[in-house]
Structure 1
């Protein structure tokens, strides 16, 4: 359900994405307005979004791109909340594994009120994170080890899902501006 909703969303955003191309003339027509209105309605539809229920199975989908981080909190295929942020200048120089691990730490801490005390599944499109976060004895670089220590109070398992079907992928590539220097 969630992946289908994001495929629909990508189709709806096509007229808007055309405006962002380098050689495109900026012209807001009725086609863009209609696309914007449909997209807005799609994102808040009750078949897509829902309220958090602590008794339901919770899934946190994360992704990192060269420019940003994203997290998507879901239950039963419905979105509870989503968030993204830009990487700082220093973070852009992290390895891809470090960026993906940072996405995990940032998203879990961002959705702390929903996740603390809950058992949840964390979905990532970066397969090495399954071993890094699911194996307590995994040897990791110092930075990632510190992040693992920060997350000790959370009960989660990392599950790999290929990037083509990662719903957080779009959000990580189009993040909201970073408003603070803090992770």
Structure 2
């Protein structure tokens, strides 16, 4: 959604406003007017995290079941991949999305009851890049579960946006 506007901010970018930029600006304004309803976190209930990665973006959401057992969104996060990160294999991008989620939701997840992280792919091997990141994950108590793309639609939307 914001990619055309973000591209204007790049170093040495020619700053020329056209229909593509105006459409992106209007789409962002509309999304702010129709923002999703977020729930307040309950420190006594377990959290879950969904994350996903695409060729350009990583995204994640912090969820928590309410008293009736319905999953409610506490927070959304996403960001564009850096140039070098775009070259990562899909499993490394998924791990990057997991790390990003833990950093962004740290205040809720660190020291909480064990939680579940849902991701779209499951790696059968551990790359060197993955192995270097393992120490970061050690301070959290969680289980990773694979959730194919269709049921993982929430995180998929965050990572498949065109911005």
Aligned to 1:172: 159
Unaligned runs of 5+ in 2: 2-18, 66-70
Aligned pairs, number: 135
Q: Distance in 2 between matches of 1:120 and 1:85?
A: 23
CA deviations on 1:2-35 (whole Å, 9 max, x unpaired) are xxxxxxxxxxxxxx9xxxxxxxx7798xxx89xx
Alignment TM-score, normalising by the size of structure 1? 0.66
Out of 27, 40, 44, the residue aligned to residue 55 of structure 1 is 44
**Aligned structure 1 segments of 4 or more residues deviating by more than 6 angstroms:** 25-28
- Structure 1 position 62, deviation (Å): 0.3
RMSD: 2.6
Q: Distance in 1 between matches of 2:162 and 2:64?
A: 23
Structure having the higher helix fraction is: 1
Q: Distance in 2 between matches of 1:115 and 1:62?
A: 15
Unaligned runs of 5+ in 1: 1-15, 17-24, 132-138, 177-183
Question: Aligned pair 1:143/2:132, yes or no?
Answer: no
- Structure 1 position 174, deviation (Å): 2.3
Alignment TM-score, normalising by the size of structure 2? 0.73
Q: Distance in 1 between matches of 2:116 and 2:94?
A: 16
